[in-house]
């Protein structure tokens, strides 16, 4: 199974994305802010890239949960319920409703997504999550203009 997370909306404190499977929207996501500089513990989204997702026991939540493997510079990155960047702890929060700085109906979105991941692992033997940053172009990267005409 292949999941795709397109990060769409960036602020200094949080990142909102669209998570899909086979091109179909599954849920919205909320993460910590994407930082270009060094990692800030508890306040930095994981790097864009492709990650294998497994389901393991979470000591913190005391339940089986999706875990992203081999996230450089991070440990214990899970997909779990939550609503704001305060709840992320560097992890990915799913939600059915997207607000400006939050996702809502996170528990329902999480249960659906966790079930989708588990089924995908059973069917395909593996689940991957590709994370892509889709930042809008900056003023310096805009198309060149004709000068001196």
Q: What is the pLDDT of residues 114-129, one digit of tens each?
A: 999 999 999 999 999 9
pLDDT at 147: 40
**Distance from the Cα of residue 45 to its chain's centroid:** 8
d(CA 107, CA 32): 19
The number of beta carbons lying within 10 Å of the beta carbon of residue 92 is: 26
40: confidence class by pLDDT, cuts 50, 70, 90: confident
pTM of the model: 0.89
Residue 73 — very low, low, confident or very high, per pLDDT cuts 50/70/90?
confident
3-12, 16-25, 65-74, 136-145, range with the lowest pLDDT: 136-145
């Amino acid at each position: 199974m292949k999941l795709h997370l397109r990060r769409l909306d960036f602020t200094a404190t949080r990142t909102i994305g669209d998570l899909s499977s086979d091109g179909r929207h599954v849920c919205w996501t909320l993460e910590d802010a994407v930082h270009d500089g060094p990692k800030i513990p508890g306040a930095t989204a994981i790097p864009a890239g492709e990650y294998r997702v497994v389901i393991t026991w979470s000591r913190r939540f005391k339940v089986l949960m999706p875990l992203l493997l081999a996230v450089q510079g991070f440990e214990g990155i899970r997909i779990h319920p939550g609503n704001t960047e305060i709840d992320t702890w560097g992890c990915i929060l799913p939600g059915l409703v997207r607000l400006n700085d939050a996702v809502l109906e996170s528990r329902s979105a999480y249960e659906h997504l966790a079930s989708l991941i588990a089924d995908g692992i059973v069917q395909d033997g593996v689940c991957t999550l590709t994370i892509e940053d889709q930042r809008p172009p900056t003023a310096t990267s805009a198309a060149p203009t004709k000068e001196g005409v």
